[in-house]
Structure 1
């Protein structure tokens, strides 16, 4: 069921692209039910998870590599999925009223949002590190698309690229750390790695794995110094900011640290890195927030600050690992409980505050604090929501933020008793830093509320006449901010069903069996040091709020002086300049130079291995003797190849090249390889047509001969490549320590895959992954060709292309005989292509060969009757046909999941039909159909795109 839950957002995103946009309904209403239903579904799982019964679903994907799609819903993941779906529902509801249904790209907005929601669910539910990494990077991609939603704005593009570069950089580092964990433990399963915790800490790769994983977590959760992407991400629409930066994307790094705490807890490096980085981010973010004049920028830095607070708490909670199995461990796990409770509180009050800022911008036309003021009487409901949310963020009673802030103070005070690391002085500073950061938090919370809603109204500086927002905009923030009161007076609603099970997930094996951990959160604990610290925060915060405008260091943000942003920009410019210089050095525009680089590398690298490896032998004793026909075909092929560089026209060069290909076809026939012969023959035929169509884009062929000195490097490279490839082929046959795998394919082709044509069975079953990725590559290549030709620069469009009319191939023939004969020939070719497709599983043929044959028929039709007639006879969007083929292949490959079989597993059997009798059916035919559609789409998209350039048809 969990797999379906993850799949639903992606399916709905595809559906959003297919449905037509109407003026009657806002597309958000189609999206809203999904997160709401998912939220209710996960709520119903609380009782099972609380009882210690995690829900685990597994689908075999690549068992031989230890990669299975295993999803687990335990206490920790339950908190996050509730945040993702609950906040998702409220954000979608808010966006319906925030974004007009006529907004350009509104459906695209929801497609990106659903993609992000599904990716986040995948991150927090995945038990396999490889699957987690895949979803992790998908969150970076989808967040990039969301941040760049207003792609016409320069800052939107800048912020999207910045977030992508930083988070993907961290993700790649994290991926390396995951692989180091696999090397040490032999598994990618998080549960199994946790069970092995403590057995591999002495491994030399343990600390590097920890550092790399933390790099990924810190970049994603905007920890210093990687926080610089988050303020620029505020260029996204406000619903996106409310979702990504309160409950989802920035919490992914927090989740990763919490999930892997059982693995690294008890390591001093983990304790110091996580807690100190979090505390520094906390005080830095709170200090920067005070200096902002834009409300979203203020909330951005406050988010950085709050993320640092949560991160530091998880670091402090990891101290329990030093006391694993002892009673003392309970004392330090209080920090983890505080982190989990504040995680929920932060999502609640920060989400409501982002929505409030969106309302202010929506109703006044500005977010600039210097233009705002006096909105209290005009927007009383919005003011009430802002007041409650800001007070909760500041940690003031009677709101839930007060409780988690008190637990934070308790944690930094408790850590002073931590005497294992012999760092008493530094541990004492934790409480001081926490208190100072809380003062700053109080100040920017007051600025947010009273600088916006208090003071004097400045109507002349506002773009709109301010008024209260409609009920639809207010509903989501009111629901969220109300929870700050509910969780404050009834904290057991969160602590018992959510925090305690999450604690059990994080601190597995750390607590003594006779001392189970219980989370107890109360509003009042008496006159404790924490209360006096809070009173000090309020008193100092009020003084600082009253006088911060007199302090130049706090009064305003210094424009253009953000050192870290300048370092990022300068580094990016340096990389661009350096890469441009390197690229200009070897990208000369000469294909000859490019081939020299490629072939030289091949020669040096392969020959070095072949000549230095002692186990390689170049024996030829096992090869059969060449027959007369084979020698004749080889001789003709060599002569045709030798004639290519001496051809005086491109037509002759293409004909000689085609001759080489047809001789290879003949060799395949002599070697009794009909599948390969058919494929080679059709490829050569279609390629010749394609080359002829490409003539129009090429400059005139130089007729003058070059000096021999310029040909000598070509000769050396050509001979070197020939010798190298020959030696590789000889070494492959003479040095392999394994039995030929062909025997396995011949023996098991029918038993395992239900097909007698071994070549086709290999393509669609044994090596189906290769085929799937090959048609993906073909699809991408065809789209690239389409883009290069049809989306050319405006300057090229204005300048008429000067072509060599002598080489241009007519796009329509006037030959009556050709037209007459083509009508019958095309039908014969199409019928034969269908035969090849259906017979391919047991006889020569298959989806790939059938698709090429169909493309050949369409090419012949194009030459005989013109492209317009082809489009009329077959009104097909070949790019869509390629996508349909890919989708069918992927769906067929995934169809094995419901039956508990790995990805790309096929089934076959015999069935009795009336009239037809006994018929063998195999699911591989559906996969082959996907290949057929994709290849036809690719081939015809390329042919029609190159041959149908409007500049040549005018």
Structure 2
């Protein structure tokens, strides 16, 4: 394994030791032991940044995991994965430092849980962005969903935290299942799970009838994770998590996973109209919906939540618009259609900086005043001057005001939207004019909620009577992380080209491969002044109309639109969840009757239907008695005895007699095993039957006399039909398998074990070799199940229930 393989594994390894550290050093905040991990990883990853104008070298190292299924832990580091890995570790370092001062080191505060979940999430996100194998990505993908829900529900004593955790888990995991189906279809089309190999087989995928289903299923996974409409509803409720979690998961990392997946698979699907229209349309609508919804919020984290939804829609729409670049030539390293991809990559970084700082600032305000409600806040500018300064920088950047980095990427967003009207593919001429309109309207509302955040919090009258705490400036420990992020907002605003050929260009080459000649790079030159162009006039319009709406807030703040903070789509989710629970309860009431007979009936009917249907569907029913072996007379005697004993069981009224008959059946089966030269099975059967008969006799001896039961005819008939059906299906299956084995002779699997038991496993007992080596994992899991059952038995034995207490 290479060093890069451990980048994603180190956080998981460290998480194992967190409980030990937490209990051993209770007087020291656990975060201090965590802080070096993301910091060291960040410094290590920086070493892969290109140091000159030469293109970034791609690193690919593979370790086999399940080679027979083409599943390998393959690390793939290019400009795109490096960008996300740096965001994950860099923001992660600042979040851990922020958490040390934000979450108090109290006895009742389970910090060990918090940091275990945080490291799990960090490792899983690194695994997602650094893996080349789709199945490995899926495994890490679902771990991000699990760990993020645990972080959201960290304060599980709060009902809203539990609700938000459940909601995020249900939506993102469901999307993950759809994504896994899409990955499987890609494998069917290409025969590989390797993304780099799939990209090389793009023409094969486009020509396949499975292209559209695979694309839609994968986008479902990306849209649910990156909170695109209508799956965005989990993100606002996830704000119940501690603020460091919100700053990490919901501004820089988890919600960007879907963005990463779309960017990574753009070379596969990007040249097609369906990809262009779906991503662009959903992205723009999410941008608009999120910005409008943010205006209605009264909680600062609620505003930032919908702001994040809106900004994610902006980045997603840019990736959609930029996918049209595959249909145009790049001259001198630039094209009017690659500017959208450039803007997406640049805004990805910008959003992480200004939104991360703003989440931390909101946490500081909550920490120092006891509330995030803008109706209770006001006048904090003079009380919290440092907090106000950082907020001003972050909010101005989010609003798209110069000279901050958000202004630069917002201008490029306008450029990309305007350029879309000139695209002469995908029939964009019909509706392309809507793109810049939606972009501009959404930007107006973005400006409005930015002004609401700034002025309602820091200006106006101070209302100490409405605050839970006496407001004061935060300690420096809480301010370090947002100061660093706020400084980056300013630095990237004044010197954006610091990222041009170290971050942006390598990421663009990963998203748009094949557009450049070998050794050529995209032309990246970001600057503020472009003259009096349409983008500048659009920005001026945003400021003018946004200020007008904000200044006339009193006229629309009493409307139903403003008063309804909760997204109306939540009603659909809540009602759907209630319906799902009622439906599952109804099904459960039908199935879980408490009667063993019913459970066997369900299983046997299912067996009859499935096996019978497959036999009929595949035309597999065949009977060939020509190749059967000679049956000795004593075999007829054994079989007849077995049939008589079996048929007698239902008609016996005495328990003891029934037990003896069941034992006779078991011993006769053991005799059959011995006749067919399976002494190990015969011995096992004899031992099991002996123990069962003895135990049954001991137990049933102490039970009351069996009362004669009367059964309705329908009950007897259904039992009879199910019994006949099972026997018929199993017999037909056995006879058909026998007939086909002679019609199409193939080497039986037993030959493989005979030939390889000693050569591969060094064992002469083939049965033992099969169980321990060839089926080692299966046997291990069986032992694990038995171990869990054993622990359950021990707990029940040691548990002493008090009188009237349910166990």
Q: How far is the alpha carbon of 1:80 from its aligned partner?
A: 0.5
Q: How far is the alpha carbon of 1:639 from its aligned partner?
A: 6.7
- Correspondence for 2:15 among 6, 13, 16: 13
Partner of 1:159: 164
**What TM-score, normalized to structure 1?**
0.77
CA distance in 2, matches of 1:488, 1:473: 24
Q: How far is the alpha carbon of 1:98 from its aligned partner?
A: 1.3
- Correspondence for 2:6 among 4, 7, 15: 4
Partner of 1:486: 491
Q: Establish whether residue 250 from structure 1 lines up as the match of residue 252 from structure 2.
A: no
Q: How far is the alpha carbon of 1:403 from its aligned partner?
A: 1.4
Q: Deviations over 1:550-599 (max 9, x none)?
A: 21477974348743111222222223333333433444333222222221
Q: Deviations over 1:202-230 (max 9, x none)?
A: 32221222222222211111111111111
- Correspondence for 1:322 among 327, 334, 337: 327
Partner of 2:794: 944
C-alpha contact 1:327 1:512 (8 A) present in aligned 2: no
CA distance in 2, matches of 1:392, 1:338: 15
Q: Describe the SS at the equivalent of 1:950.
A: coil
Q: Deviations over 1:25-64 (max 9, x none)?
A: 2222222221111111111111389643211111122333
C-alpha contact 2:358 2:395 (8 A) present in aligned 1: yes
Partner of 1:210: 215
Q: Establish whether residue 733 from structure 1 lines up as the match of residue 735 from structure 2.
A: no
Q: Establish whether residue 91 from structure 1 lines up as the match of residue 99 from structure 2.
A: no
- Correspondence for 1:558 among 551, 554, 563: 563
Q: Establish whether residue 750 from structure 1 lines up as the match of residue 754 from structure 2.
A: no
Q: Describe the SS at the equivalent of 2:129.
A: helix
Partner of 1:70: 74
- Correspondence for 2:768 among 760, 773, 797: 760
Partner of 1:581: 586
| Gap change, CA 1:667 and 1:472, over 3 Å in 2 | farther
C-alpha contact 1:327 1:511 (8 A) present in aligned 2: no
CA distance in 2, matches of 1:61, 1:274: 33
Partner of 1:276: 281
| Gap change, CA 1:279 and 1:554, over 3 Å in 2 | farther
CA distance in 2, matches of 1:500, 1:28: 35
| Gap change, CA 1:664 and 1:349, over 3 Å in 2 | farther
Q: How far is the alpha carbon of 1:541 from its aligned partner?
A: 2.2
CA distance in 2, matches of 1:239, 1:672: 67
CA distance in 1, matches of 2:505, 2:550: 38
Q: How far is the alpha carbon of 1:531 from its aligned partner?
A: 2.6
C-alpha contact 1:330 1:511 (8 A) present in aligned 2: no
Q: Deviations over 1:412-436 (max 9, x none)?
A: 2222322334443632332222222
CA distance in 1, matches of 2:764, 2:569: 64
Q: How far is the alpha carbon of 1:630 from its aligned partner?
A: 7.3
CA distance in 1, matches of 2:772, 2:12: 26
C-alpha contact 1:326 1:512 (8 A) present in aligned 2: no
Query: Which sits farther off after the overlay, 514-523 or 611-620?
Result: 611-620
Q: Establish whether residue 517 from structure 1 lines up as the match of residue 522 from structure 2.
A: yes
CA distance in 2, matches of 1:760, 1:702: 44
Q: Establish whether residue 125 from structure 1 lines up as the match of residue 130 from structure 2.
A: yes
Q: Describe the SS at the equivalent of 2:610.
A: helix
| Gap change, CA 1:309 and 1:949, over 3 Å in 2 | same
Q: Deviations over 1:307-326 (max 9, x none)?
A: 01111111111110122577
Q: Establish whether residue 47 from structure 1 lines up as the match of residue 55 from structure 2.
A: no
Q: How far is the alpha carbon of 1:124 from its aligned partner?
A: 1.0
Q: Describe the SS at the equivalent of 1:46.
A: coil
- Correspondence for 2:27 among 24, 27, 34: 24
Query: Which sits farther off after the overlay, 517-526 or 545-554?
Result: 545-554
| Gap change, CA 1:217 and 1:608, over 3 Å in 2 | closer
Q: Describe the SS at the equivalent of 1:260.
A: helix
Partner of 2:150: 145
C-alpha contact 1:548 1:555 (8 A) present in aligned 2: no
C-alpha contact 2:621 2:733 (8 A) present in aligned 1: no
CA distance in 2, matches of 1:953, 1:635: 54
Q: Describe the SS at the equivalent of 2:62.
A: strand
- Correspondence for 1:174 among 172, 176, 179: 179
Partner of 1:770: 778
Q: Establish whether residue 288 from structure 1 lines up as the match of residue 290 from structure 2.
A: no
Which ranges in structure 2 are unaligned for 5 or more consecutive residues? none
CA distance in 2, matches of 1:388, 1:461: 27
Q: Describe the SS at the equivalent of 2:379.
A: coil
C-alpha contact 2:293 2:565 (8 A) present in aligned 1: no
CA distance in 2, matches of 1:511, 1:678: 71
CA distance in 2, matches of 1:204, 1:586: 39
Query: Which sits farther off after the overlay, 43-52 or 519-528?
Result: 43-52
| Gap change, CA 1:41 and 1:675, over 3 Å in 2 | farther
Partner of 2:375: 370
- Correspondence for 1:361 among 362, 366, 378: 366
CA distance in 2, matches of 1:60, 1:382: 50
- Alignment RMSD: 3.2
Q: Describe the SS at the equivalent of 1:201.
A: helix
| Gap change, CA 1:367 and 1:552, over 3 Å in 2 | closer
CA distance in 2, matches of 1:343, 1:374: 32
How is 1:449-848 mapped onto 2 (pairs within 5 angstroms)?
Answer: 449-511=454-516, 516-552=521-557, 557-559=562-564, 562-610=567-615, 613-619=618-624, 645=650, 660-661=665-666, 664=669, 667-668=672-673, 671-673=676-678, 675-676=680-681, 680=685, 703-707=707-711, 709=713, 710-736=715-741, 737=744, 738-775=746-783, 778=785
Q: How far is the alpha carbon of 1:379 from its aligned partner?
A: 1.5
C-alpha contact 2:405 2:490 (8 A) present in aligned 1: yes
Q: How far is the alpha carbon of 1:722 from its aligned partner?
A: 2.9
Q: How far is the alpha carbon of 1:237 from its aligned partner?
A: 1.3
C-alpha contact 2:321 2:420 (8 A) present in aligned 1: yes
**What TM-score, normalized to structure 2?**
0.91
Partner of 2:38: 35
Q: Establish whether residue 221 from structure 1 lines up as the match of residue 71 from structure 2.
A: no
Q: How far is the alpha carbon of 1:130 from its aligned partner?
A: 1.8
Q: Deviations over 1:209-256 (max 9, x none)?
A: 222222221111111111111111111111111111111111011111
- Correspondence for 1:267 among 260, 263, 272: 272
Q: Describe the SS at the equivalent of 2:75.
A: strand
CA distance in 1, matches of 2:693, 2:129: 52
CA distance in 2, matches of 1:637, 1:604: 27
CA distance in 2, matches of 1:690, 1:158: 48
Q: How far is the alpha carbon of 1:484 from its aligned partner?
A: 0.5
CA distance in 1, matches of 2:307, 2:626: 75
CA distance in 2, matches of 1:95, 1:658: 66
| Gap change, CA 1:624 and 1:426, over 3 Å in 2 | closer
Q: How far is the alpha carbon of 1:129 from its aligned partner?
A: 1.6
CA distance in 2, matches of 1:693, 1:16: 51
Q: Describe the SS at the equivalent of 2:116.
A: helix
Q: Describe the SS at the equivalent of 1:389.
A: helix
Q: Describe the SS at the equivalent of 2:290.
A: helix
CA distance in 1, matches of 2:244, 2:17: 21
CA distance in 2, matches of 1:627, 1:456: 103
Query: Which sits farther off after the overlay, 18-27 or 738-747?
Result: 18-27
| Gap change, CA 1:717 and 1:424, over 3 Å in 2 | closer
Partner of 1:184: 189
| Gap change, CA 1:756 and 1:407, over 3 Å in 2 | same
Q: Deviations over 1:703-755 (max 9, x none)?
A: 23224723343233223323332332333333233221101110111112222
| Gap change, CA 1:651 and 1:170, over 3 Å in 2 | farther
